[in-house]
Each structure stands twice: as C-alpha cells, then as structure tokens.
Structure 1
Amino acid sequence: MSHKADYSVKFASISEQTLLNTLSDESRMFIREMAHEYRFTQQDLRQVTEIARDLQMWGESNIESVWPVASETHTGKQEKQRILRTLVATWERYKEAANNYQLGTSIPVKKVTAEVMEKEKGKLGLGYCPVASPKTRCCNLLTLDAVDNCGYGCSYCSIQSFFTGDQVYFDPEFADKLAALSIDPEKTYHIGTGQSSDSLMWGNSHGVLQAQIEFARKHPNVILEFKTKSANVSYLLNHDLPPNIICSWSLNTPTIISNEEHASAPLEKRLDAAKHLAEKGVIVGFHFHPMIHYQGWKEEYADLFNILQTSFFDPKQVAMVSLGTLTFIKPVIKKIREQGSRSQILKMPMVDTEGKLSYPGEIKLELFSHAYNSFSSQWQKEVFFYLCMENHNIWKPVFGIEYESNEAFEQAMKQSYSGKIERLRNQIP
C-alpha cells in the first residue's frame, strides 16, 4: 500500500473523532487536502476543525481564507508546525476582539423544539448546584429538579451538557415525592428549581407549580426560588402564594437576548412579569448572568440597570442581584460546537479559571464593577448583591467586602432573604 493510500485509511479513521463532517463542503475538502499534504495527526485535525467550526459559527472568514501562506523556507514537519501556530494565532486574535452584534445582519434565530414526556424517576431528593466548585465562592444552593431539560435554546447553557435530545421530562409522581421529602424544621433551606430546567416556562404543567407552592407553604423555613427567563406567571398571579417563595429573573440586554437566548421571553416581557408579581407582594430578584463583553456592552447594560431602578422596582421588593459571566466546562464547549448554531458565544478570550474556562480577570472586574456601580446606594444597601461562581479574590475589588468562607456567604444570603420574607409575612413596609 502506498504512503498516500495508507494515510487515506488513517485519515478516514481519525476524522470520525473530529468536527470535520459538520463543516461546509468547501471547508471539508480543503482541510482534507491539507491533512494529506502535511500528515495531520488526530490532534492536529481536531484543532483545525474546531477553529473552522468556530469561524463558521461566528460568521467570520472561512478556514480557507485565513490559512497561512506556504513558506519558502520551511518544509515537512516544520512547515506543519508553523502553519498550525499561525492559524491558532489568527483564531486567538478573533477571540480577543469584542463580539460585534451590530454587523447589519441579524443572527438567525435558533429553532427550538421540545417534546414533553412523562418519565418516572427514582427517589426525589435535594441536590447541590451542578456548577459549584471548591475554588469559587459558592452560596451552597440546594437544587430541586421539578422538570428535566429546558425548552429554551440559550447558546451558552450548561443544561445541554446534562441531557441529550429535545425531550423534556416530567415525573408523574413528583407531587407525592415532594410532599414526602424530609425537611428539618430547625434548619433554613435555600432551594432553587432552575438548575435542570426553567422554573416557570412550563407554568403548572403536570401540577409542578401547585406541588411546589404547597411544599413552600408547608415548610416556612424553606426559601424556594423560581428562576426563569420566561414571562409565564399567570398561574402565580391567580393563586395565593406563601411569602417564602422568591421569583427571580435572568436578565440580559436586548442584544444578547435576541442573539444568544433563543425562544426566551424578550426583556420587556420578563420585566413586566416580574413587576406584576412584585405588585402582588411576591419577592423578586435578578440575575445578570452571564454578562457578556461585546461592542456596546457598557452602554446597553447601563440602560438596563437604569430601567430596573427607575421604571420598575423598589429595592424593598427585591431580594438579590447576582452578577456572573460566561464560564464553560469542556463538555459544554463541545456540545455548542456540535450544535453549530450561528453564535458568537465562544468568540472570547478564554483562560483557565478555577478549573473552568472564562474571561480573564481584568474583563470580569470591568464587567462586574460597572454593574455594581450602576446601582444607587439605596439598592446597594437594601438588596443582596453577590457574584456567582467567581473566585473570592474578586469580591472586594467589586463590592468592597468579601466572605471568608462559603458558609459565611451562605449565612449572609439566607439572613438577608429571611429578613425580607419576615417583613412580608408581617406586612412590615
């Protein structure tokens, strides 16, 4: 067998473990030609196809147009190494530039389909935040999986690494299992329901909200937080709610919502939904997570923070404002590339941050400081501000304070939330 034929067999084998087949016909043929010329290893081919996939998703130049010009002085392995180094440097330059969503062409909306199914699970229990890390300051949030998988199509979502396919699962025995859940009446619990699916987008489908409301009513020592990107609050508005339920919204600028949070409610509808519940007497909260660095980010986030304070809410109605940014584990990055939706979400400088990939510290500090300093002293005093999944070293530069441990952070959060719940329970203004 000739060397050329021998490599063709090898190429067919190693290419199956890469993103080659997700690329356009032109890029696929070009990479195949370069792989044969320079005898790419599987690692070489994986790196090249990932770069090609990123450029395709970002709407940037294709791999053919950025391929380094052949050298007149290098050959063989040296030339391959030079080409790959140059290609990676070009890719990194793209990532260093702030995302640009104002190019005159809108990113196509990702079509989101969800098949709702019933599936009985095992014993229902309380879990821990799935993205918690011992290297970051964590509030020790407990999680309750009322629904498995999400019906939205946010490009950055970590849920996509936990589930496969478009099936969204409801446990027909959820209400009974929740009612039987053991809760220590001497402890204060903070439980979130938005970790494996959006808390409110499904409304009371399969009785999930009714069961959770009764659970919160039965256990006044539980702080039950519904986290959402929806505007589906009709069931909550039409039913009496115990004061220990907090409804929180993940918010972002209109640019990010329209380009990266597919099928979720527009900003104005999220704010309207939150306002209706606040007027009903429900404690609300807001998560600016992920804040994203892009051209125009500072002005658009400033507008959003201003609208929140001047047009919608009194800080007495608000439990928390959390700040966070893009933080990836490798399986999520792999899933994003496999899906291949038009998105700039991976077009960012990535550094290792406490075992995950995220922005460098200087970008984080700029994002978070801008956010916190955009709120009035009254909001800073009356609302619990915190950083989500960030190293404790960044807290003091942003807020002027830091917690010595996760337990101290957890206790401060619970104390703040419990104080607002007690005032609401006793109808104290």
Structure 2
Amino acid sequence: YQELKQLVEMSIDLHMWDESPFRESWSEFPNKKAAFHWARNYYEAKKNQPHSYTHFDVSSHQTDHKVTLVEQEKSQLGLGMCPVASPKTRCCNLLTLDAVESCGFDCSYCSIQSFYNEHTIGFDSSFAQKLDALELDAKRTYHIGTGQASDSLLWGNRAGILEALFAFARKHPNVILEFKTKSDNIGYLLEHEVPPNIVCTWSLNTPTIITNEEHLSAPLHKRIAAARALADKGVKVGFHFHPIVVYENYLKEYAAVYEMLLKTFIPQEVVLVSLGTLTFIKPVIRQLRERNFKSKILQMPFADANGKLSYPLHLKREMFAHAYAAFAPWHQEVFFYLCMEDESLWNDTLGYEYATNVDFERHMLSSYTKKLNMPYFYV
C-alpha cells in the first residue's frame, strides 16, 4: 500500500512539474520491487536537479481566481507572534496584525492557504474600534507587521483598514508598523500623509518566478516603481527576497534584480533587506498536490528544517551568501537578516550572527528606529 501511495504522489508531482510521466520511459521489469526502484530513481532525478522554466507552460493556470469578500465582526483582534516563529530558528520576534484574513493573490508556495479558506477574504467590521482600544506600553518599541495573513496593500482602504492603521500608527509613535506587499496598489498612500513610523516593504522575486509561481501579483517592474514612488514621498521602504528559489541560472537572474535595486534606491531610503527561501509544512504540500495545477515549486531536493521541509543547507549557503555579497554597497546602512533560518547559516552567509532571538530583535529595532528617526526604548 505504501509503495502504491508513493507512486501516486510521484505521478501527481511529475504532472504538476510538467515533466514526462512514467509511462513514456516505462519498460518491462522482472518484479514489482524493480519497477518501484526504477520509478523512484526516475522521480528523484527529476526532483533534485535544478529545473528549467524555459518550456514550462502555465497557460492553463486559472487567471480568474475568484474570491468572496466577507465583512463581519471578529471576536477579537488578530494580534500575536509571527505564526511561523520557532525556537529552533533565529527569529526577530515580529508581532503580526491580521488586518485581513487570506489573500487574493495565488502564489503557488503560499502557506496562507493552510490557515484560511483560500476563496474567502475576511474583513473585520470592527477592526478600527478594536485597534483603537488596544493598549500598548508607551515605553517599549514594537515592530508589528500586517502582511502575514494577507497582502498589506492589495485591498487598499477597503473596509477602512488603511485609515485605521494610519490612525493607529499616529497614536503609537513607538510602533514600527510594516506593510508587506506584492502589489502596486499605493493610491491611498500617495493621496494621504503617511505616518513616519510606517515602513512599506515589497516581497520581490525574479520575473521567471513571478510569472510562473506568483500568479495575479504585480510584475517586478511595477513593484519597484511603487516602492520608488513612495520613497520619493519620503516613506522608508524595504525588500524581502523570500522565497529565493533554485532553478536553472537562478543566481544570474537574482543578481539582475539586486542590481536593479542598487541602481534605483540609495541606502538612506531603505530600512531592511531580508533573505529566505522555500519552507513547507506537510499540509501545504498535500494541498498543492490536490490543486491539479502546473507548478515547479515542489521540484526541489527536500531536507529536514526543524520539522519542516526546505532546501539542504549547502544550497541555502549558496543563495544567501550570493545575495548578501551583491548588496555590498548597502552593508553599512541597511539592516540585513535571514528570515526563519537555522542559526548556523548566519555567520557562513552574512559574516555575523546573534546569540539569541532577543539579541537579534534588539539589533533590528535599534537599526530600524535610527533609520526612521524614532527613539528606541530598550527592553
């Protein structure tokens, strides 16, 4: 039974990756064991080699990703620790604020689909009131992000969410409020005065990955143009390269994106650059296989990553060291970090490390507040 189950999963993956199925290379075998051994080797060869998107066809991907927008009162404010935080990885202790639940983009690797109904977008009808009633310690510096449960800017000011967040930022000048996005929907921010403690960050990737895996999101040039427009207005910006994906010639293509940023921004405008990669929990892998769509995102060598599945450490060292080296002109003025990665990777790729998560958080907040001209309340 287990071998049959594995054969089914391998067949689903080959179809998802747009690779040749078993039947095109199948031959006669002396027994079931030999046949399974051949199938496993065929599959692993396809899975572990750097794949190419050159002839990958995503034209059949559903482009009218239909979602239902639901506005109803939630029982409580969705504020808490980052949902992927782990004591086994180096974590910045980010607080996440769920202004919206679920996302309208259709990125193949997204873990949001394992937490929410991916076809329903939830807005809290009393979000502004809950946020206004939130009590915070005025003598503590907070870092709160709104781009974990949904995209921070995709929905604009629908249901008054940006208006409420702007008011919250003004009321609590000791809060660093981060909007994280893959959109170029910055109309509300251009039309209104943005509180100085709001940072707008973009998740960036290569055009290859955006086209083939980040469906419905803004193309790279529009994301960068949106960031440039806000930087021109005086809003501090940042960039997340998460996930960096391994594929044929990936280092060359990512290098072109890094160079584009270096030419478009000066380090005084940029608060942060984070680096991360694909990390899966088993429910997400199962849901991807159930979707019956084309994606190469699972066509990668898996290694244990503290109970999750990710790239082997040697590939992570390659991608992170390459990215950090490319940003050498920014090293002294921009805060760089690895997002939710094994602590052993830091020194090998960035040349420094933090002894604890608290140490990491303190250095991050010190750097952010300095760039934002905010006082830092050391806790």
Distance 2:18 2:56 in 1: 12
Give the conservation status (yes or no) of the 8 Å contact 2:22–2:39: no
User: Counterpart of 1:254?
Assistant: 207
Q: How does 1:14-413 map to 2 (within 5 A)?
A: 41=1, 43-67=2-26, 69-71=28-30, 79-103=31-55, 105=57, 108-111=60-63, 112-310=65-263, 312-377=264-329, 379-413=330-364
Higher relative contact order (CA 8 A, sep 6+): 2
Residue type at the aligned position of 1:63: F
Q: Assess, with a 3 A threshold, how the Cα gap between structure 1 residues 106 and 172 changes in structure 2: closer, same or farther.
A: closer
Give the conservation status (yes or no) of the 8 Å contact 2:16–2:294: yes
Distance 1:167 1:104 in 2: 29
Distance 1:45 1:299 in 2: 40
Q: CA deviation at 1:106?
A: 5.2
Partner secondary structure for residue 170 of structure 1: strand
Distance 1:81 1:222 in 2: 60
Distance 2:229 2:168 in 1: 23
Q: Assess, with a 3 A threshold, how the Cα gap between structure 1 residues 420 and 338 changes in structure 2: closer, same or farther.
A: same
Q: CA deviation at 1:81?
A: 3.2
Distance 1:139 1:408 in 2: 9
Q: Assess, with a 3 A threshold, how the Cα gap between structure 1 residues 68 and 138 changes in structure 2: closer, same or farther.
A: farther
TM-score (norm 1): 0.85
Distance 1:269 1:165 in 2: 25
Distance 2:154 2:217 in 1: 9
Distance 1:103 1:218 in 2: 52
Distance 1:407 1:369 in 2: 24
Off by >6 Å, runs of 4+ in structure 1: none
Residue type at the aligned position of 2:136: I
Partner secondary structure for residue 210 of structure 1: helix
Distance 1:52 1:406 in 2: 41
Distance 1:299 1:50 in 2: 32
Distance 1:82 1:135 in 2: 40
Partner secondary structure for residue 381 of structure 1: coil
Residue type at the aligned position of 1:394: L
Q: Assess, with a 3 A threshold, how the Cα gap between structure 1 residues 174 and 68 changes in structure 2: closer, same or farther.
A: farther
Residue type at the aligned position of 2:221: E
Residue type at the aligned position of 1:404: A
Q: CA deviation at 1:170?
A: 0.4
Residue type at the aligned position of 2:286: K
Please say which of residues 119-128 and 61-70 is displaced more in the overlay: 61-70
Distance 2:300 2:308 in 1: 14
Distance 1:68 1:181 in 2: 66
Give the conservation status (yes or no) of the 8 Å contact 2:279–2:310: yes
Give the conservation status (yes or no) of the 8 Å contact 1:125–1:181: no
Distance 1:69 1:169 in 2: 54
Deviations 1:144-176 (A, max 9, x none): 000000000000001011012401010111110
RMSD: 1.4
Partner secondary structure for residue 373 of structure 2: helix
Residue type at the aligned position of 1:412: H
Q: CA deviation at 1:132?
A: 1.3
Give the conservation status (yes or no) of the 8 Å contact 1:107–1:259: no
Distance 1:63 1:153 in 2: 29
Q: Assess, with a 3 A threshold, how the Cα gap between structure 1 residues 48 and 316 changes in structure 2: closer, same or farther.
A: same
Distance 2:73 2:56 in 1: 48
Partner secondary structure for residue 315 of structure 2: helix
User: Counterpart of 1:25?
Assistant: none
| Greater percentage in helix | 1
Deviations 1:85-134 (A, max 9, x none): 33222111111111201127555444222211112211114211111111
Q: Assess, with a 3 A threshold, how the Cα gap between structure 1 residues 68 and 210 changes in structure 2: closer, same or farther.
A: farther
Q: CA deviation at 1:423?
A: 6.8
Q: Which runs of 5+ in 2 are unaligned?
A: none
Distance 1:104 1:90 in 2: 19
Q: CA deviation at 1:296?
A: 1.7
Distance 1:412 1:396 in 2: 16
Q: CA deviation at 1:207?
A: 0.2
Distance 1:268 1:83 in 2: 48
